[in-house]
Amino acid sequence: MLTDDKRLTIRDWAEDDRPREKMLRKGLQSLSDAELLAILIGSGNRDESAVALSRRIMRDCRDNLNELAQLTINDLCKRFKGIGEAKAITIMAALELGKRRKTNEMLERKKITSSRDLFDLFEPQLVDLPHEEFWLGLLNGANKVIEIKRLTQGGSKQTVVDIPMLLKMALEKSAQAVVVAHNHPSGQNRPSQEDEMITRRIKTGCEAIGIPLLDHIIIARGEYYSFSDEGKL
């Protein structure tokens, strides 16, 4: 433990422990998640360097960035000495940028051909959430994504879906097909009776306006359930 009151910044540490210098010498790929995190936060606390603090944060999240992304700003500030609101916001902003990049890459890909494509499309939006959300994907005639949009946000167990709004969005965007997805924060990826009921209602509504519902997937902690794959559409 350090005896002075100085907060160690990255510049104060031995050269081998400086992630910025390491990045310049060896490239971004050479850095661990903790070292990348240390660059974001810049300084540690009286007892730890930025690198040591970042390693402790990652250990606490089982070295899993998805678990880190599930923490709130308040969680980070309370659990980790040396992380104030500004640093917590910086961490959350960086994670959100990564999520958006993944989504943009998916939107630029070729047409949707499988439930796995849908999982890759919606999972970045839903993976970290402690509450349930319901998302809509609109496709053109080639099954390429026109737009994805959150329809509703609910509690930890169930969210209400506005089907007339869903159909209105599909018509306004001249969609040729519709896909939907929601998450189960519990980690259980099997559909509930309510999930099956809302799927039937969406399918009926889509059929009434001549736009097919291609699939409804449920995402839960890296796994998913596809109504289409299970023959329930």
Q: What single DSSP character describes residue 48?
A: -
For residue 87, what are the domain limits?
10-101
Q: What is the mean pLDDT of residues 92-112?
A: 77
Q: By the 8 A CB rule, do 38 and 10 touch?
A: yes
- Domain boundary among the residues 101, 128, 157 is at 101
Last residue of a domain, one of 46, 73, 101: 101
What is the spatial distance between Cα 212 and Cα 217, in angstroms, rounded to a whole number? Answer: 15
Lowest model confidence (mean pLDDT) among 26-30, 32-36, 141-145, 152-156: 152-156
Instruction: Say whether pTM exceeds 0.85.
Output: no
Same structural domain for residues 143 and 215?
yes
User: What's the chain's average pLDDT?
Assistant: 86
CB-neighbour burial class of residue 229 (10 A; exposed 0-12, middle 13-18, buried 19+): middle
Retrieve residue 64's tokens: 């899993």
pLDDT > 80? residue 4: no
Same-domain status, 118 and 222: yes
Taking a C-beta distance cutoff of 8 angstroms, is the pair 137, 180 a contact?
yes
Q: How confident is the model at residue 155 (pLDDT cuts 50, 70, 90)?
A: low
Q: What percent of the chain has pLDDT over 70?
A: 87
Which of 60-74, 117-131, 166-180: highest mean pLDDT?
166-180
Query: Which residue type is seen at 153?
Result: Q
Confirm whether 233 is domain-assigned.
Answer: no
Residue 142 covered by a domain: yes
Q: Phi and psi at residue 23, in whole multiples of 5°?
A: -60, -45
Is residue 193 a part of any domain in this protein? yes
Q: What is the mean pLDDT of residues 134-151?
A: 92
Residues 61 and 165 in one domain: no
Digit-coded pLDDT (tens) for 171-225: 999 999 999 999 999 888 899 999 999 999 999 999 999 999 999 999 998 899 9
Residue that is last in its domain, among 72, 101, 130? 101
- Average pLDDT of the residues in 45-57: 90
> pLDDT digit string (tens) for 157-168?
556 788 999 999
Highest mean pLDDT among 20-34, 37-51, 72-86: 72-86
Radius of gyration of the chain (CA): 22
Q: What's residue 154's pLDDT?
A: 76
Q: What is the pLDDT of residue 13?
A: 47
Predicted local confidence at residue 15, as pLDDT: 47
Residue 80 near residue 87 (C-beta atoms within 8 A): no
CATH label of the domain that carries residue 127: 3.40.140.10
